[in-house]
Amino acid sequence: MDFANSPVQSGPHTPKLVRFSGNSRDFFGIWIVNLLLSIATLGIYSAWATVRTKQYFYNNTSIDGHRFEYLATPIQILTGRVIAALLLVAYMFCIHYFPIVGAALAISLTFLAPWFINQSFKFNMRMTRFRNIRFSFNGSYGGAFKVFVLLPILSVFTLYLLMPWVLKKIDEYLCNNIQFGDKPFATTLSTSTYFSAAVTTLLCSLVAIPLVLGGVFAVGGTLAGSSQVLFILIPAYFACIYLLKAIYQAMIRNHIFNSTSIDQVAELHSDLSPAKFAVVEVTNILAIAATLGFAYPWAKVRKAKILASASALTMLAGADNVFDTLDNAESSLGDEAATLFDIDVSLT
């Protein structure tokens, strides 16, 4: 047991690869059994299904042999979902039947949204653990209101020309408020990268959309009914959206990762090829559509693998000296309030 006597060396300055060790066979079993139980219990079990799925993906994602962990309990997820479902029912009911109350509700939701977003991030960060240290999110209402409500409204007046800058502000807000234990994340993003990503995506759409439309009409010309054309047009439309989204996401992900470090702990790296990622995303959704959903586990595992293999971390000297701040503060008053809302109010 000689090797047991020293801590695992983090090997400073050598990038550690991120690895995803899940496989579609295991996940297919998890997925189909949990789906069946979710339906059979009219959705109640879906909270357990969510937790198991997240645990599967978190635990199978590892950096240098250390696995991520997902700590939320099904009851927390279920409570959040019931609240979200009730809010949704109330909202849809009002919009439908009492338009004025509905409008008032829509306005108040605009003001509540930043709080919900913060809450959701706080929850998801607190529930993520790596090397025994939990993440946390410290965004303020004011900060969230600015990037999620104020700036998007302002960008409307610039005919959305400022939208890439707004998206940059959102990502900066999110990243800079994350902490790993007692060590904060630091991210400095460049506006020009966001604009060039947007322009590249736009240029791709100028090529992709006519191509797809041309293809659809070439095939559609031989079909009689307009309803049959829809069967091709809708998947083609979705394939296009996924293609463009993937190209944009890959570029932005690389930029965010490569501009982010955790104080004294690590530097993040990503070299995801936009073309490769787009191919994976498009073939994934086509496979899911063609198999009526049954390829979903395979697609999800495939995506997790390509994302993991494109990521790496350079460990810095302080990696072994991070302390979990959350455990110590468990009894403080602020935390009491946090546990009261320790739910992710969302349906997804």
Site for other proteins, residues 54 to 73, rule: CB under 8 A: 55-56, 59-60, 65-67, 69
The two tokens of residue 200 are 């590249």
Query: E strands along 101-150, which residues?
Result: 128-130, 133-137
The distance of closest approach from Cβ of residue 97 to other proteins in the complex, given in angstroms and rounded to an integer, is: 5
Residue 97 or 157: the one with the smaller Cβ distance to other proteins is 97
End-to-end CA distance of the chain: give it in Å, rounded: 46
CA distance 67 to 59: 5
Give yes or no for a contact between 298 and 30, defined as CB atoms under 8 angstroms apart.
no
Helix (H, G, I), strand (E, B) or coil at 15: strand
- Selected from 28, 115, 195, 341, the binder of other proteins by CB under 8 A is 28
Identify which range of 48-56, 109-117, 156-164, 200-208 contacts other proteins by CB under 8 A. Answer: 48-56
CA distance 88 to 264: 43
Site for other proteins, residues 201 to 230, rule: CB under 8 A: 224-225
- Binding of residue 36 to other proteins (CB under 8 A): yes
- The type of residue at 266 is A
- Binding of residue 88 to other proteins (CB under 8 A): yes
Residue 180 or 194: the one with the smaller Cβ distance to other proteins is 180
- Binding of residue 246 to other proteins (CB under 8 A): no
Identify which range of 33-41, 136-144, 194-202, 204-212 contacts other proteins by CB under 8 A. Answer: 33-41
List, as one string, the DSSP characters of 128-195: EEETTEEEEE---HHHHHIIIIIHHHHHHHTTTTTHHHHHHHHHHHHHHTEEETTEEEEE---HHHHH
Helix (H, G, I), strand (E, B) or coil at 100: helix
Helix (H, G, I), strand (E, B) or coil at 174: helix
- Selected from 16, 20, 46, 268, the binder of other proteins by CB under 8 A is 46
Identify which range of 12-20, 41-49, 136-144, 149-157 contacts other proteins by CB under 8 A. Answer: 41-49
- Binding of residue 142 to other proteins (CB under 8 A): no
- Binding of residue 336 to other proteins (CB under 8 A): no
- Binding of residue 19 to other proteins (CB under 8 A): no
The distance of closest approach from Cβ of residue 306 to other proteins in the complex, given in angstroms and rounded to an integer, is: 15
Q: Rounded to 5 degrees, what are φ and ψ at 139?
A: -60, 145
- The string over 123-152, giving b where at least 16 C-beta atoms fall within 10 Å of a residue's C-beta and e elsewhere, is bbbbbbbbbebbbbbebeeebbbbbbeebb
Residue 3 or 157: the one with the smaller Cβ distance to other proteins is 3
- Selected from 12, 13, 32, 206, the binder of other proteins by CB under 8 A is 32
- Selected from 12, 14, 40, 330, the binder of other proteins by CB under 8 A is 40
CA distance 101 to 111: 16
Residue keyed to tokens 């879906």: 46
- Binding of residue 3 to other proteins (CB under 8 A): yes
- Binding of residue 280 to other proteins (CB under 8 A): no
Identify which range of 21-29, 150-158, 194-202, 269-277 contacts other proteins by CB under 8 A. Answer: 21-29
CA distance 220 to 247: 28
- Selected from 207, 218, 292, 333, the binder of other proteins by CB under 8 A is 292
Residue 180 or 257: the one with the smaller Cβ distance to other proteins is 180
For other proteins (CB under 8 A), the number of binding residues is: 74
Residue 172 or 182: the one with the smaller Cβ distance to other proteins is 182
CA distance 295 to 92: 32
CA distance 239 to 233: 10
